[in-house]
Structures are given as structure tokens and as C-alpha cells.
Amino acid sequence: KTLRIMVRFHQSLGIIIPMSLFSRTFRASSAFVPNVAIASVTHTAAFSTARISPKEIVKRDIARPIASMSPSFSSPPSSSLRSMKIRPHQMRTTARFATEEVSSYEVDEDEDTEQLLADNSISDSPMEINGVNGDAAPAPNGEAAVPFREVLTSVGIYDKIKTIRDMPEKRPLSQNDVFCNRELKLSALKAMGFDMDYTLAQYKQPAFDKLAFEGARDKLVRALGYPEDVLDLEYDHTFWVRGLIIDTQRGNFLKIDRHKYVRLAYHGFNPISSITRKHLYSRTFNKVPSFTEKSFVNMDTLFQHVDAHLFASLVDMKDRGEYEFLDDRTYEEIYRQVRQCVDLCHRDGVIKDEVARNPEKYLVLDDGLFPMLKSYRDAGLKVFLLTNSYWEYTSVVMNYLFHKEKVGKEEQKKNSWLDYFDVCIVGSCKPAYLVDPYLNLFRVKPEDGSLLNTDGLFEIEALGPDGANKFLEQGKVRN
């Protein structure tokens, strides 16, 4: 009875029913009847059914419609009925199930029966798809209602998929496609924040990266004494993707899967053999690599492509053994100095001063940017900007994106783009501000970029009820 209720309930919802659930149900029932109806929902939502007698299960597999077994089951369309072979892990076998309760260990010991069942593989013939999540109630126009019809139509595959084999191997992607690995109800959000660099502001490649690469390359030679040949290094942004891991201790670049298994590894620009890769990074009986040590760096942002390319180039130079200067330094020391030089380029004006002078050369215009921000505010969300860039650079970039051209100083001082944000935080020191409670908070005057002291949270509390809004009324730009 319990089994019938479970199947009927899940069938009505079109939910996949794991066969392991039935195995547990069989074991739990001490009054199991000789003839049992089993319904399973496959990944194509086609119902597979079988009427099994424990005395016959070791000899054959029988498939019959649900309607012939019990009035408790409604019969699905005939096109959805599939024959089902019973696997060892799906049903325990022996006639003793009919009269007494036995342990799974005892049943699993019946090796001959399990082998007989394992030899009967499931048919691999195409299975028809009746909807995405099972058969649904008919639509008003008489057609079968298909869940997610609108979604399937929007991606151009509705009416094209009749069997699993009809699924396209590849589908063209656009820059407007959104990918996620969990559901998010946007209507439940109260605020939405954006970074500026490589988020609202997209940069042209490889022109923008070359500013950092060439600036860091010059600093390594002029300030730190690296060989002059370093000045001949060229940048290739096509060699890199986000998601890699840099092993700074060994000069290696790793691509791992979700199980932390290293699928691919390079030393500098040279691939590492499978044997060496497994020797260095495979798990052992008492050690599983976590890749969280300080010597491992995640390439999470596009900014790190510059670090990676310059570091890989220096690794190759060091391995050639032609430079005494590099022979005296470890891979880890070389990476640390590369990181320092690239970071300095972002702070001393080598990159941002050039972008401010020629924004059209480095920034990508997007007609949908500000309409998108407006739509969020119109929906009642609070919208904020949170960037590590300082006010002067932020103002130049956002004004260019808003006006779609470089504007004069008077127009820039108006900062009309601020109307699309409830608050703007520049020089945010991400991610340090998350763990450092002593970072100072200043109010920025947009007209001239000057800073004014503020007590932040203490000032908001001192303003009394609705202190946050009163605080923002005095200026919504913070540093």
C-alpha cells in the first residue's frame, strides 16, 4: 500500500523516482505480497513498469501496463510504456521476500541470481520524450501541455526533439546567455551591487592587458635587475582562461576538475607528462591535495592572465639555465615579484592614466548597460557600485560609458551616471574590508574628488531613526 501511494504521488508530479527507493521499501516490508507492481520514471519521464513474482524474477523479466495491475494506478500513454530489465541494485531477489524479512547482506550473497540479472542489460533503443517532466494535462487548444514549453521554444529546440538522440551536441551561445549552478529568486533581493572593472566596464583585448604586461615587464628590468631579454617578451591573451591554478612553488599551471583531480598541467608553456603529473598531484592513501596552500593561486579574474603569462615566460627563461640572475631565485620568488610589479602598474598610473587619456581605445561601449541598471531600480531594488578603483578613474570610465564618448571636465563634474546608483563606494580595498574593521571610510565630493572624514556606522547611529538615508543624503559616494 505504501509503495502504491508513493508511486501514484510522484507520478502525478512527474518526479523522477530512484529505484534505490523501492529497494529500501522492499526490505522494510515484512508482509510483502507475492506479486508486486513497480513503477519507475526514467530520465525521459517515460514510465517503465513490471509485474514481478519473486519466484519468477530469477528466470525472466516481464513488463505489463500499469492499468492491468491495480485500479490505484492511472495508465499513461502507450508511447510512454517501456520494458524494464531489473538490475541487482534495483531489486533484491529470492522467494523468501514473500514470507519473511531478510537482511540485504543475505540477499546480496545470492551471486548466481545477481549475475543472471546483470547479464540482461537495459535496452538502449531511443526513448520518446513526452514533455520535459512527464505527461501533463492537455492544453486548452487540445494539444498536450508540455512543462517548460516557453523555455524550450525560446532556445529554439521545441518541436525538434523527439528522442534523446535528437538533442544537439552544441548550441551557439551569445553574450546575453546567463549560466548558473543554483536557482535564485531575483524578486526576493533587496539590493544588487556591481564591480566596475571587467563587470560594468569591459576592456578591449589584448590592448588593455598589454598596458599591465609591458609596464610590469619594464619594472622587472629597470627596478629589480632582471635580464634585458625580459623586455623582448610578448603577451598572448589567447593562451589563458580563468579557472586555472598556478603552482608558484613549482612553476606549474594546473587545470583540475571538481574532484580536485589534475586533468592537465603545464610547466611554463610546456605540457607535463601524465606520469609526472600524477606523481606530483595525485592523491595518496593518506593525503588528498587541497590546492588551498599559499603556494597555489587561483586564476579567478581576467586581470591574472597578465601575471600568468609573464610568470610562465620567466619560468621558461629560468629553465634554460642561461641567466645567473634567475638561477639564484626560486619560482615562488619570481612569481611574488611579478605580482608586485603588476599590482604597482594598477596603482602608479601606468594603466589607468593611459585609459583616462584614450578611453575609446580600451573600453567597450554597451547600449544595454544603463537601461539594465534603471530596470533594477524601477523594480524597487537598491543598486550600488563597489570598486577598488579610486574616484578619479571611476568618474572617467563611468562618464565615458554613460555618454558613449569622452566628455569635457565641466560635463564630467556633473557625473550624471550617479543617478543610476543608490550608493557608490570607490577604493573599497576588496576583499580586505570584509575582515578589517579598522579601514577608514571617507565621503567623496564628486565635484573635485576631495575627501571628507566620516565616522561611518557611528555617524549613522548618531543620526537617529532612518540614519542611513540621512547619511546618504549628505553624499552617496564613499571611499
Residues with active-site annotation: 195, 197
Q: How far apart are CA 36 and CA 113, in angstroms?
A: 19
State the residue for C-alpha cell 592572465. Answer: 305
Is 152:132 a contact under the CB 8 Å cutoff?
A: yes
Q: How far apart are CA 165 and CA 355, in angstroms?
A: 50
Burial 104-119 (b: 16+ CB within 10 A, else e): eeebeebeebbebbee
State the residue for C-alpha cell 611574488. Answer: 336
Query: Of 241, 316, 338, 255, nearest to 291 (Cα)?
Result: 255
Compute CA 129 distance to the chain's CA centroid, rounded to the nearest angstrom: 28
Q: How is residue 278 written as a grid cell?
A: 600524477
Is 266:313 a contact under the CB 8 Å cutoff?
A: no
Phi then psi for residue 382, to 5 deg, are -85, 130
Peptide bond connecting 147 to the previous residue in cis, omega within 30 degrees of 0: no
> Beta-carbon neighbour count of residue 15 at 10 Å?
12
